[in-house]
Structure 1
């Protein structure tokens, strides 16, 4: 007989871990106890040595669905204190660093799904069923400790039946804070656009009526778990077009929800890995390849207005009981998009939805459980043979990212993130907690959410920063908020270069050590404020966590009109042709459509702006290069309606002509006196315009442009790795969300680079920037500490 103590750290509280341990120990005949404390879970166990070893192995082999074990330590126990049975002991708060951590919202588990679809179950047709393996978490919490009283379930005391299940360690609803049933929990109702409630009283009748309205082509606002969404029949073209017009979302793709994997597979190819991701507890939107032609088993094709100019469809499965019950009543997938007008934050409150969605929704399916914290749907795509998060929100936040063990001594760092696709990050030791996607801070309501989330996370995780990290851009609102906070709390403020942060985010996610050797970081995006005061966006940096050196970049080109050039791609096209020699180009290619178009623009004014440097900031942006080429090929030439539209549609066009034999255009590499290397695109533009003049299909030109970028990037990467003796290449920045470009570069570098790192758990775009800011700030503080020691 042996006694041991097991210490487990990770996501092991609030996920049914203690009942799991109790069941396992009881089945094996082990006595002892399991309890939560400030470090995770502690197990004291007595039994035969072989049985205890099996017990330890089973803990790591089959933990509960929502658990994540980051560390398991075993030490000798006290044989003299052997108990007669195994029990779940009261939590030990004496060493608490913070209360029970809040885990991400989790999609409906198979057991709860079976119950809501079984007529004999007391949970039949109940839209709010949950257990320790599924249900809302972050979306309903107001404060810690994570008890029912501190969530939006507080107004719903449990009935006797629910209380018995809640108190029973053998029940999967043991200590499930959102547990409820039709007798004691929240309820749904249906109302029309005037606010008049339907006379249907039961959940079954309300769901039946909602499904009928969707089938008739009406737009329904549905209050989900993390926000209010707009739904419409995805096979009804007129209804989808009406939703676009009312929502003022004219081009950006809509997300789709299918009843099950089989229903989704009628419209898109679903690999086993994609099916696993769709069915996971996170239940994200997964970008899938549509079928070239509709399957013979498809009753009706999807509306063409769902994803114009896209090469992927964004599908998700029902993630809540309400969605599951509704989809079971429908024959076709639905569009399920955020409940807002274009570019506004998603509604989460009933009254706000009635106000802001008036004129958009025909009916409202609402309920009386408050959404405390807005959670957008997460978005994932498979690129370069791995899943890549494009938006990290519901199902992922606030699950911590585990960094290299060298971060263990780092103090509390708060990183404020970027202006667009904002998230913030709390770093403490090896754990980095990246917030859910907040969005673009230019909207007042989004900034309100940002402040709310900052305060909530600080309270949830008992987090008091010792340093605040911000982006170097002087006009970012996240930077201003961080500067004010640092001043008020009298703590250090650390401005961090945008692309250095992109690179550090990938390094941190991939658990590179604080004292590791520099990597070659290739950061391609729209814009980031450079250390020389210009705008960067096509960067090759030699970087570790504390330092970086700019080795090479794309050719800096003026942006006529500043931010207006972001909205109107033709301006970037003119700027690139101006840099390539406008007088010669406009004569040689006068008969091309793009030159004729540009002559209709106010060229004398633009020439003067560029020559005199009036509102024409220079930028090495990869995103603006994509805009310029797209405009030349008549893609989004006049303007874009959402960020990245021109690049996305250009990639989609290129895919139709892409092959491994696609040739590249020429380009020129220049080494400046300060050793900075610059990729010049003049030769490419000459050849591209010649192809246009020869009326080569635009798809082939788009494919050749992508090949040119890939060749230029990989050739320069090889040269820089050799000359600077670095073995690791990091690919990052929003431009690498282009699947064609990313996979071409990774294929070209696969046999030429010992180690290639790309983000997977954090977005390649600015949604992952805060992690890099936090890692750089932590490394800076750590370096100062080691020097002091």
Structure 2
């Protein structure tokens, strides 16, 4: 039969996922000749053979690609016939600028897990065992395409055995760019807090560390994305010591379980949670801790909460540690509270020597440090909420191309900062970076922005930032624009939140209007006030604010977000002065002065309303971490029945939601001695009902909900339960509802709402 030649181009997450060796293998099965290589767009295949075999081959690789790949688009076209002697993988030869998805890190696969536990295998106990299906990708990426020479593992030259695997098309490590073994690969060193090396044969290292953990020691372990601080999660004394050393008084720690079996024995999880825990992303999953065994030091791990963040080993290092453990361990970011995760040996030894007793270092450079990602599911609807988007997810957003002629960089907000960049057909969103008020976080933020520009060899033509003039991200945007000679477009914070939900759910072309319900802690409003309880309407590329929670005083600047009792004070009335005097007994003169002064700065923040309720109920007067008061309120209401609650307020006053009236009625119930669970339930129910009151008033059936308040699982369940019939509800899906999505929202707003006034 007549031989033909075709060119096939496949885009999406197709580099660093074993796509080329897979194509090579399938081509051999069909007796086809040609080549496959990575290019700036993805994977390009040239193939010659009989037409029917080529199309069978094409259908096979598209319909059944490698497990961790994600195909965005694919195209086949006939070209002039070319005769090939064989089918081969051609090393990438970068000719143009990068226009391909980057590849996130993948959790250790079952095959690699077996090898490191098998004494007869040559990778037995080797802590950097990977293959085409698993291992670090983004964390070691220096440039692209994803070839070994473009990663930090390039410093380790493969030995003969590894190279034989790499070139053997029948081997699982055929063209695995991260291939190494204990003969040629990454080396571990164990040191005490003073930096003195501890001699230990690699076969005994993890057994030794397991013994240290059992003995109540804190170990800083350099993992794939940075250092983790680990200690025995069943030992309350050492967990408290870690809290003190790390300067993290109340924020929950994540717990690493050695095995799924032990996790299931200790904690009740459902099928959805189990699937997430075993996924290639392997995030921390927040579970309700109702059934936790007493042996776990849960009060010390998650003070005041009946929730627990759990995870399973996702690297060979953690798996080898797990093999030596019989108890779960705390595994929290290696940093001082508020600083970014540390990945450098010298920095770790210097900054964490007062935190950890021992250090497990390795000599593989981490190019892109990353925290663990965190997700949770609501109790009634199993609705997924991504709380932190980092390892396993970043830096890609979607395999779907975003079309624009401009190269755009969005710099997000200050809290939970991220950077979004659109230099080509794809949108890239960095891993979670943190609070820019911390110098080290700000430094990493600027470095990440610069790395994106360098990696894609493209300078942005437009910079997007928040409207808040004091945000460091806004100030950096101004500096960058001045340096590059380009324009800076500022996007209002809550409009960016709304645009993020619209973008994620492809609602910009909706034929019907969409109500935006955007609730969070703070954001600089168009009127110069502090917004945070907003309702917007989007229709035909126009977005406008239609109502909001009534303003109340913003007291004591940034201190208000840290001290919920100030929010209570701002909403207080005459009946509350006994409560106010008790809360502020040591600050009476200051408080009286605050109350006398006319405060021109106001807020509509629902986040601060949560704070006020938490303080009134004596649940939280000081936030030691962002959102602590709101989390503690949610924690009191894990099991609820909607019919047991009442609405504190209904309707609007002067087209505004009466914030002070809501709070006044909460105070009334508190004075009557109503249980805190009932008051919190009524409060949540009131908020949920206002969503639909506003929707009905404006006759809108599509509702998009975003902002940090919608990290609250109980509130989301209530809203979904009330709006099950008659409404279309939309939430963030692949991004967190908190400020991590602001950079994406800024970009979506800019592309779709340019005619908004």
Whether the TM-score (by the shorter chain) exceeds 0.5 is: yes
Q: How far 1:186 moved relative to its partner?
A: 1.4
Deviations 1:143-181 (A, max 9, x none): 345443443223322212112222334333233332211
Aligned to 1:304, the other structure's residue is in SS state: helix
- Give matches, 1:654-669, under 5 Å: 654-655=637-638, 658-669=640-651
1:560 to 1:619, Cα distance in 2 relative to 1, 3 A: same
Q: How far 1:339 moved relative to its partner?
A: 1.2
The answer to whether 1:507 aligns with 2:502 is yes
Q: How far 1:671 moved relative to its partner?
A: 5.1
Aligned to 1:154, the other structure's residue is in SS state: helix
In structure 2, how many angstroms separate the alpha carbons of the residues matched to 1:328 and 1:653?
Answer: 36
Q: How far 1:529 moved relative to its partner?
A: 0.6
In structure 2, how many angstroms separate the alpha carbons of the residues matched to 1:549 and 1:733?
Answer: 17
Residue 607 of structure 2 is matched in structure 1 by 623
In structure 2, how many angstroms separate the alpha carbons of the residues matched to 1:149 and 1:75?
Answer: 31
1:399 to 1:495, Cα distance in 2 relative to 1, 3 A: same
Deviations 1:21-57 (A, max 9, x none): 1111212333333232222222333455554444333
In structure 1, how many angstroms separate the alpha carbons of the residues matched to 2:509 and 2:594?
Answer: 45
Question: 2:741 aligned to 760, 765, 768, which one?
Answer: 768
Residue 396 of structure 1 is matched in structure 2 by 393
Aligned to 1:529, the other structure's residue is in SS state: coil
Residue 696 of structure 2 is matched in structure 1 by 718
The answer to whether 1:245 aligns with 2:244 is yes
In structure 2, how many angstroms separate the alpha carbons of the residues matched to 1:341 and 1:515?
Answer: 46
In structure 2, how many angstroms separate the alpha carbons of the residues matched to 1:469 and 1:380?
Answer: 28
Deviations 1:662-713 (A, max 9, x none): 22232254354xxxx3111344333322322222221221111111111122
Q: How far 1:543 moved relative to its partner?
A: 2.6
The answer to whether 1:472 aligns with 2:467 is yes
Aligned to 1:566, the other structure's residue is in SS state: helix
In structure 2, how many angstroms separate the alpha carbons of the residues matched to 1:353 and 1:493?
Answer: 37
The 8 Å contact of residues 21 and 89 in structure 2, kept in 1 or not, is answered as yes
Q: How far 1:207 moved relative to its partner?
A: 1.0
- Give matches, 1:585-664, under 5 Å: 585-586=575-576, 594-595=579-580, 597-598=582-583, 600=585, 602=587, 605-614=590-599, 617-637=601-621, 639-655=622-638, 658-664=640-646
Point out where structure 1 has 5 or more consecutive residues left out of the alignment. 785-789
Question: 1:493 aligned to 474, 488, 500, which one?
Answer: 488
The 8 Å contact of residues 562 and 617 in structure 1, kept in 2 or not, is answered as no
Aligned to 2:615, the other structure's residue is in SS state: helix
In structure 2, how many angstroms separate the alpha carbons of the residues matched to 1:128 and 1:151?
Answer: 15
In structure 2, how many angstroms separate the alpha carbons of the residues matched to 1:168 and 1:545?
Answer: 56
The 8 Å contact of residues 267 and 291 in structure 1, kept in 2 or not, is answered as no
In structure 1, how many angstroms separate the alpha carbons of the residues matched to 2:298 and 2:292?
Answer: 13
1:121 to 1:102, Cα distance in 2 relative to 1, 3 A: same
The 8 Å contact of residues 14 and 71 in structure 2, kept in 1 or not, is answered as yes
The 8 Å contact of residues 665 and 683 in structure 1, kept in 2 or not, is answered as no
Q: Kindly report the root-mean-square deviation, in angstroms, between the aligned alpha carbons of the 2 structures.
A: 2.3
The answer to whether 1:387 aligns with 2:384 is yes
Deviations 1:250-298 (A, max 9, x none): 110000111222121122222222212111111111111224353xxx8
1:599 to 1:425, Cα distance in 2 relative to 1, 3 A: closer
In structure 1, how many angstroms separate the alpha carbons of the residues matched to 2:265 and 2:540?
Answer: 47
In structure 2, how many angstroms separate the alpha carbons of the residues matched to 1:538 and 1:484?
Answer: 31
In structure 2, how many angstroms separate the alpha carbons of the residues matched to 1:640 and 1:727?
Answer: 36
The answer to whether 1:27 aligns with 2:29 is yes
The 8 Å contact of residues 402 and 430 in structure 1, kept in 2 or not, is answered as no
TM-score in terms of structure 1 length: 0.91
> How many pairs are equivalent?
752
Residue 686 of structure 1 is matched in structure 2 by 664
Deviations 1:275-324 (A, max 9, x none): 12111111111111224353xxx8x3344211122232111111111100
Deviations 1:588-644 (A, max 9, x none): xx5xxx356246364564354355335x6211001100000000100112x111110
1:741 to 1:308, Cα distance in 2 relative to 1, 3 A: same
In structure 2, how many angstroms separate the alpha carbons of the residues matched to 1:359 and 1:548?
Answer: 51
1:515 to 1:634, Cα distance in 2 relative to 1, 3 A: closer
The 8 Å contact of residues 413 and 467 in structure 1, kept in 2 or not, is answered as yes
In structure 1, how many angstroms separate the alpha carbons of the residues matched to 2:90 and 2:330?
Answer: 47
In structure 2, how many angstroms separate the alpha carbons of the residues matched to 1:689 and 1:608?
Answer: 23
In structure 1, how many angstroms separate the alpha carbons of the residues matched to 2:89 and 2:354?
Answer: 53
- Give matches, 1:219-618, under 5 Å: 219-292=218-291, 294=293, 300-383=295-378, 384-402=381-399, 407-428=402-423, 430-513=425-508, 518-543=513-538, 547-577=542-572, 582-583=573-574, 585-586=575-576, 594-595=579-580, 597-598=582-583, 600=585, 602=587, 605-614=590-599, 617-618=601-602
The 8 Å contact of residues 39 and 145 in structure 2, kept in 1 or not, is answered as no
The 8 Å contact of residues 650 and 690 in structure 2, kept in 1 or not, is answered as no
Point out where structure 2 has 5 or more consecutive residues left out of the alignment. none
In structure 2, how many angstroms separate the alpha carbons of the residues matched to 1:293 and 1:106?
Answer: 29
The 8 Å contact of residues 630 and 636 in structure 1, kept in 2 or not, is answered as yes
Aligned to 1:213, the other structure's residue is in SS state: helix
In structure 2, how many angstroms separate the alpha carbons of the residues matched to 1:354 and 1:44?
Answer: 51
Deviations 1:704-728 (A, max 9, x none): 11111111222222322x1xxx442
TM-score in terms of structure 2 length: 0.94
1:470 to 1:251, Cα distance in 2 relative to 1, 3 A: same
Q: How far 1:16 moved relative to its partner?
A: 1.1
In structure 2, how many angstroms separate the alpha carbons of the residues matched to 1:761 and 1:239?
Answer: 36
Deviations 1:310-351 (A, max 9, x none): 232111111111100010110011000011222122221111
Aligned to 2:266, the other structure's residue is in SS state: coil
Residue 787 of structure 1 is matched in structure 2 by none
Deviations 1:530-571 (A, max 9, x none): 101101001001136954211111111112212111111111
Aligned to 1:266, the other structure's residue is in SS state: helix
Q: How far 1:82 moved relative to its partner?
A: 4.8
Aligned to 2:360, the other structure's residue is in SS state: strand
Aligned to 2:637, the other structure's residue is in SS state: helix
Residue 8 of structure 2 is matched in structure 1 by 6
The 8 Å contact of residues 107 and 283 in structure 1, kept in 2 or not, is answered as yes
Aligned to 1:81, the other structure's residue is in SS state: coil
